[in-house]
Amino acid sequence: MEELRKSFKGRDFLSLRDFTGREINFILDEAARLKAMQKAGIPHPYLQGKTLAMIFQKSSTRTRVSFEVAMLHLGGHALFLSPRDIQMGRGESVPDTARVLSRYVDGIMIRTFSQSEVEELAEYATVPVINGLTDLTHPGQILADLLTVKEHKGQLAGLKLAYIGDGNNIAHSLLLGCPKVGMHISVASPEGYRPNPDIVTLAKQAAEETGVKVEVISNPVQAITDADVVVTDVWASMGQEQEQKEREQAFAGYQVNQALCAHAKPDYIFLHCLPAHRGEEVTADIIDGPHSAAWDEAENRLHIHKALLALLL
């Protein structure tokens, strides 16, 4: 285990594609350990004197607060950098930004639009780069989801997760992560809003190794039938606001509500990365009801980010 721990040091965290099932489970275990220490009031300043640059091209509540608090708990310091605060917002290149920040800080977290921008930043940085979200993937969120499922269900392997809605970055990262930890995954999206086919191919390749089922279909009832975990996300993500009305029509039959969830297992749990639009992708009685673990999920962003920072930095 010590060798596995050492193998994380200095690595980037760009996509769950880059991590094995064993490594993903190790991160979850580390997050659970740090969470227990925090709850018990045991200090864990593993990153004393370390600094994290946080580049935000997209605004955030959970990502900013959880990374900042994580660094504080770990004894380090985080710097919030919006486009107005750094020269990237005025045309400085990503490689130049990466080179300069690497001389100042011990790690970089970036929340932005393009996955290629994150990958370019990592290519030129000499410190670990963490993907805080792109339009293509949201790997840290899905680790928080998996930690929440494990807490509520006691296991991951053999469970079925149903994702209902837009084939976006959440769907992509669930597809990349679930098969690696032995979870079946069924994604229901309307035509024209399906997940990236290259990511679906990667998911099915991982599923062959672990013996689980991956399906991408259009029927939400079929997807949610016998699901242990039900997940959804907003129909229009940041940058897609102008498509709101069009998307409301396309996703009209994909609302997670009592009628749809009646097809899941009686003890299913509901997850949502937040922010949620009650009355659109999910009804209030689901997200605020007894099956919802969305608030545990939101808290677990902190513990996952803490684990990632402690391991990579």
Q: 95 among the known binding-site residues? A: no
Q: 84 among the known binding-site residues? A: no
Q: 238 among the known binding-site residues? A: yes
Q: 61 among the known binding-site residues? A: yes
CB neighbourhood size of 37 (10 A): 15
Helix (H) / strand (E) element for 252: namely: none
Q: 169 among the known binding-site residues? A: yes
Helices (H), 125-269: 139-153, 169-177, 197-210, 220-224, 244-250, 258-261
HEC-encoded secondary structure of 81-115: ECCCCCHHHHCCCHHHHHHHHHHHCCEEEEECCCH
d(CA 271, CA 269): 7
**Do 214 and 207 form a contact (C-beta atoms < 8 A)?**
yes
Q: 91 among the known binding-site residues? A: no
Q: 237 among the known binding-site residues? A: yes
Q: 60 among the known binding-site residues? A: yes
In 3D, which of 60, 25, 229, 52 has the Cα closest to residue 138?
60
Q: 300 among the known binding-site residues? A: no
Q: Residue 275: is the preceding peptide bond cis (ω within 30°)?
A: yes
For the record, the structure tokens of 1 come out as 């285990």
Q: 17 among the known binding-site residues? A: no
- Which positions are catalytic? 111, 138, 141, 233, 273, 301
d(CA 60, CA 228): 29
Cα radius of gyration (the chain): 19
Q: 139 among the known binding-site residues? A: yes
Q: 301 among the known binding-site residues? A: yes
d(CA 134, CA 148): 22
**Which of helix, strand or coil describes residue 20?**
coil
For the record, the structure tokens of 303 come out as 């513990």
In 3D, which of 178, 175, 190, 123 has the Cα closest to residue 146?
178
Q: 312 among the known binding-site residues? A: no
Output the known binding site for carbamoyl phosphate.
60-63, 87, 111, 138-141, 273-274, 301
- Residue numbers in the known binding site for L-ornithine are 169, 233, 237-238
Annotated binding site: 60-63, 87, 111, 138-141, 169, 233, 237-238, 273-274, 301
